[in-house]
Amino acid sequence: MRKRGRLSPGWAFVHYFLIFLFVSQMIYAMHQVFVVHGVGGWNPVLLGRATEISQEQFMARRMYAIEGWLAMVGLSLYLALTEVLPRVLGVVAAQAADTAQSMQGLDNREPAAAPSLAEPAGT
């Protein structure tokens, strides 16, 4: 019997392969933006040099930057859904089980006597 929360080898391969694809896509987009379509070597900020490049190169650089951002967002969402959310839900489920267990302990006690309306509370 496998441990709870562990993936089978096939699903683990798919999981890590998807992470590899997202990371490699981010590296590829960075390479395209900063090296291939860059101006004058490795300098991520164009500033005044933006007027030195053609409109086509500028748009290609922008499209690769958007592609890189989409890969980052995709990886963030994928990791949030597959790694973070199950852990958070596991903690919430454990807290709910603890609360339910403590509430069962309260149900087994003798009921407290209801205060009488005939007597004042402080006497």
pLDDT at 96: 82
Cα separation of 17 and 78, whole Å?
12
Asked if residue 61 lies in contact with residue 29, where contact means CB atoms within 8 angstroms, the answer is no
Q: Look at residue 9 and tell me whether its pLDDT is greater than 70.
A: yes
pLDDT at 33: 87
Q: How far is CA 40 from CA 44, 45, 73, in A?
A: 10, 11, 29
pLDDT at 48: 76
Q: What is the pLDDT of residues 10-62, one digit of tens each?
A: 999 999 999 999 999 999 999 998 888 877 666 667 777 778 888 898 899 89
Record the tokens describing residue 107, joined without a space. Answer: 């149900």
Q: What is the pLDDT of residues 61-113, one digit of tens each?
A: 899 999 999 999 999 999 999 988 888 888 888 888 888 777 776 655 565 66
Record the tokens describing residue 110, joined without a space. Answer: 């003798």
pLDDT at 2: 43
Cα separation of 119 and 109, whole Å?
25
Q: Look at residue 117 and tell me whether its pLDDT is greater than 90.
A: no
Cα separation of 34 and 83, whole Å?
31
